[in-house]
Amino acid sequence: MRGGRKTAVGNVGRPPVSWALPGILFFAVFAIVPLAIAVYLSFCKWDGLNSPTSAGLDNWTRLFKDPEVRQAAWLSLLLTTISWAFQTPVALLLGVWAAGRQRSRAVLSAVFFVPLLLSTTAIAMLFHALLDPNFGVIKEIGPWFGIDPNVMGSSTGALLTVAFVGGWQFMPFHTLIYQGGTRQIPQVLYQAAEMDGAGMFRQFFHITLPQLRNTITTSSVLMIVGSLTYFDTVLIMTKGGPGTDTTVLPYLMYRTGFQTYDLGYAAAIATALVVVATALSLVLVRFSGFGNMRSTREGM
């Protein structure tokens, strides 16, 4: 649609590019420039009070040797993988199911939606209270399912809990995305498949899943970037513990920067984080061809 449509009025009434400048400048000042400063600070030593002084490659050589960074990177990756593997199938199934227009589904969807109304902080605090080994619901319910009430006390338990709480919070959002995506699939495809005698499962795997390709990419990118930058829940629920066993990269960065005031090193960790997050999303976007941002009307 943007490609050369050569009509008499093709170039009349186009807005000046300068209209975009305020928005671009604003974004540059508060996101792009800080990103550049972060890279700059990663080569500095800075305690937050005095001026930053050059430190050469110190932070970076330290970063690659630091066992804490290695552990945090591993935990971030682990948390991201668990979250993705847990949320994607469930959200996909729930979304496809909720896309039906029956009343019962509408009512259930309304309930599913409630966690979205709670802030991350509220959700983390709620589960912090529910999972309190002495006073929380977990002491009642946990044993029914063979879960130790002190689940937050074990390394694996704490990490899985953080992943679960994240899922609890974001599942409705991803379910909605899938629900929206499913409703955009032309019904004709299903009618054709039904006439060919394709069953429900074949319809799901041969129509629904391929048609949801872009939706899966969008949802996955949001999930991956979201879990790599998982911070609020960790701070509120585990403070990186037990020990350092849930200290993911963003939390390590926070601790380094704003508790020990080693802001140069924190900037290096942050830069590494953004490189990883961007690389991962670029791979996903390229891989699926989503970056074309095609309009549904294109070619009509």
Q: Which stretch binds other proteins (CB under 8 A): 23-31, 75-83, 145-153, 155-163?
A: 23-31
Alpha carbon distance 296, 136 (integer Å): 49
Site for other proteins in 177-196 (CB under 8 A): 177-181, 183-184, 186-188, 191-192, 194-195
Q: How far is the CB of 253 from other proteins (least distance, A)?
A: 6
Which phi and psi (to 5°) does residue 76 adopt? -60, -45
Q: How far is the CB of 268 from other proteins (least distance, A)?
A: 10
- Of 85, 209, 278, 286, the residue at the interface with other proteins (CB under 8 A) is 278
Question: With binding defined as CB under 8 A, does residue 125 bind other proteins?
Answer: yes
Q: How far is the CB of 57 from other proteins (least distance, A)?
A: 18
Site for other proteins in 225-254 (CB under 8 A): 225, 228-229, 231-232, 236, 250, 253-254
| Residues sharing a CB contact under 8 Å with residue 175, sequence separation 6 or more, in sequence order | 91, 94, 95, 98, 109, 112
Question: With binding defined as CB under 8 A, does residue 31 bind other proteins?
Answer: yes
Question: With binding defined as CB under 8 A, does residue 49 bind other proteins?
Answer: no
Render 120-142 in DSSP notation, one character per residue: HHHHHHHHHHHT-TTTSTHHHHG
Q: How far is the CB of 215 from other proteins (least distance, A)?
A: 6
- In terms of Cα–Cα distance, which of 42, 24, 44 is closest to 32? 24
Question: With binding defined as CB under 8 A, does residue 81 bind other proteins?
Answer: no
Render 35-56 in DSSP notation, one character per residue: HHHHHHHTTEE--SSS--EE-T
Alpha carbon distance 46, 202 (integer Å): 59
Question: With binding defined as CB under 8 A, does residue 145 bind other proteins?
Answer: no
Closest CB to other proteins among 8 and 65? 8
**Residue 186 C-beta-side C-alpha neighbours within 13 Å:** 5
- Of 69, 151, 234, 266, the residue at the interface with other proteins (CB under 8 A) is 266
Closest CB to other proteins among 65 and 111? 111
Closest CB to other proteins among 35 and 57? 35
Alpha carbon distance 207, 31 (integer Å): 40
- Of 173, 220, 238, 247, the residue at the interface with other proteins (CB under 8 A) is 173
Question: With binding defined as CB under 8 A, does residue 32 bind other proteins?
Answer: yes
12 Rama class: left (phi>0) / alpha (psi -120 to 50) / beta: beta
Task: Count interface residues toward other proteins (CB under 8 A).
Answer: 121
Question: With binding defined as CB under 8 A, does residue 23 bind other proteins?
Answer: yes
Closest CB to other proteins among 159 and 217? 217
**Residue 300 C-beta-side C-alpha neighbours within 13 Å:** 5
Q: How far is the CB of 152 from other proteins (least distance, A)?
A: 14
| Residues sharing a CB contact under 8 Å with residue 145, sequence separation 6 or more, in sequence order | none
